[in-house]
Structure 1
Amino acid sequence: MVFPPLLTGIAVAGDPVAAARESVAIEVEPGSVFYGTDATRLEAAIVLAPEEALADALPVAFAVALGLNDAIGALAPPEVALHLVWPDRIRINGALCGRMRAFASTGDPKEEPDWLIVALDVPLLTASGVEPGETPDETCLYEEGCGDITSHDLTDAWARHMMNWLHIFLTEGFAPLHEEWRAKAHGLGTEVTYPEHGTFIGLDEKGGMLLKRESGETALVPLTRLLAV
């Protein structure tokens, strides 16, 4: 697999997230992308070394998500619709199809992390033992008409498109990513229950969720909610 410049691909027979988290102990090069070899799913984790506070660095996760959006858009039939659920879920044709996670050396939004890992997990095929239609709110790419997409092709396309959004984020900031993400946002302008209940009215300048409560007050759910415990 050929990765774009500034990214280094590392194939992992096991869990790419575990490999990425182990790699930071030996100070792996930023831009290292650990990806799985399981043909039934896309599993990948990119290691980053931010030079700013966690709250300012974490919106890079939108570059990871938009890279996936563009990759599926390039490979899937035109009728396949992808939407992004804040902060970490992916929907294909309305059903859940994968997730995003983030890990950092600190959970303090004001502290500069030594490292930041953003990971994707998207099923291409239904999990073993699960019959199609058995979980109506969960799907895989194969069930949504994307049977020709391979894990190799999706990983390759995602890396290329993600690198484009990473460049935009580093040179222009979060605003262009915010604008693009809004077009793919699930539930924007409507009442939502995930990750909290309220009317989803938008994002703040750091990618946090703005919710209008029943009381009429506006609450901020920070993007650090994305961080895996």
Structure 2
Amino acid sequence: MTMTEAEELTFPPLMWGEETGDNAVEHAVMRATLGCDAGLVAYNLGASRLQAALVFAPDVPLGKAMAMLPLCGVSFQNALGALAPPEVAVHLGWDGRILVNGAHCGGLRILADTRDPEAIPGWMVVGLTLPLIPETDRPGDTPDRTALYIEGCADVSPPRLLEAWARHTLNWIASWEDDGARALHAEWRGLAQGIGEETTSGDITGTFLGVDEDFGMLLRDAQTTHLIPLTTILETTP
């Protein structure tokens, strides 16, 4: 996507952007591995999808730092909610899925250089992929999947959405660092999809009761309540 000078991206303090013609997540991981500072926003604004990735440098163990996934999800909902018509509903899946008007519309993924929940990661990357137009001319063939522009959001500008996501993410990080995770938990729970419903995670099926303090899934089957750590969805390579 070619942007005019008027459309050049503006990021909040402590964040800066790098446009990449290739995979934004791969670019962010490469830069993080080479030691770039936290705050990098790698992005690729294509005609059919928005792709972006944020680089973090956590100072808490991985198990706590995994909160950056739901935090970035809440930030995305806040950003799109401010730009989209009020009737557009945005919800979040525990595993990073984004749902617009009830259908799967891209999502978030999280990567780090360690899988040890007690270790402090050297780097962490949260990636966002958001389809703007359907992959097929027959969207009825995949009624559970959608794209932003066919959900009443044709006037949402991808550059402005990306900027807003960065701003809201920075605001939520400040809240999380200063006041703990209580406000983030409350906001996320109001947006979470599937709480109280039957859910399958791995080989466990049960009722999704909610999450623990570190956003681990609480899944109740006939015998017991299982705790599925959020680290189970962590990736270590793009």
Q: Same fold (TM over 0.5)?
A: yes
Instruction: Please indicate the TM-score interval, normalised by the length of the shorter structure.
Output: over 0.9
What is the one-letter code of the residue matched to 1:4?
P
Three-state SS of the structure 1 residue aligned to 2:109 is strand
Q: Which whole-Å deviations, capped at 9, do the CAs of 1:95-135 have from their partners, x for residues lacking one? A: 100111111010010111111111111111112x4422221
After TM superposition, list the pairs within 5 Å mapping 1:149-160 onto structure 2: 149-160=156-167
Corresponding residue number in structure 2 for 1:3: 11
1:207 aligns to 2:207 (yes or no):
no
Three-state SS of the structure 1 residue aligned to 2:192 is coil
**Partners of 1:67 and 1:38 in 2: CA distance:** 21
Q: Which residue among 40, 62, 71 is the counterpart of 2:79?
A: 71
Corresponding residue number in structure 1 for 2:180: 173
Corresponding residue number in structure 1 for 2:3: none
Tell me how many residue pairs correspond in the alignment.
227
Q: Is the 8 A contact 2:70 2:96 kept in 1?
A: no
Corresponding residue number in structure 2 for 1:60: 68
Q: Which residue among 73, 82, 92 is the counterpart of 2:90?
A: 82
Q: Percent identity?
A: 43
Of 130-139 and 205-214, more deviation after overlay is shown by 130-139
**Partners of 1:25 and 1:121 in 2: CA distance:** 21
Q: Which residue among 33, 41, 47 is the counterpart of 2:49?
A: 41
Q: Which whole-Å deviations, capped at 9, do the CAs of 1:47-97 have from their partners, x for residues lacking one? A: 111112100111022221111001110111111111111121111111100
List alignment gaps of at least 5 residues for structure 2.
Answer: 1-8
Q: Which residue among 94, 103, 118 is the counterpart of 2:102?
A: 94
Three-state SS of the structure 2 residue aligned to 1:3 is coil
**Partners of 1:214 and 1:140 in 2: CA distance:** 37
Q: Which whole-Å deviations, capped at 9, do the CAs of 1:150-201 have from their partners, x for residues lacking one? A: 2212111111111111111111122211110000010112212356521011
**Partners of 1:33 and 1:93 in 2: CA distance:** 27
TM-score by structure 2 length? 0.91
CA RMSD of superposed structures (Å): 1.3
Q: Is the 8 A contact 1:39 1:151 kept in 2?
A: no
**CA distance 1:39–1:162, change in 2 (3 Å):** farther
**Partners of 2:137 and 2:179 in 1: CA distance:** 44
**Partners of 1:124 and 1:218 in 2: CA distance:** 38
**Partners of 1:25 and 1:205 in 2: CA distance:** 29
1:190 aligns to 2:197 (yes or no):
yes
Corresponding residue number in structure 1 for 2:235: 228
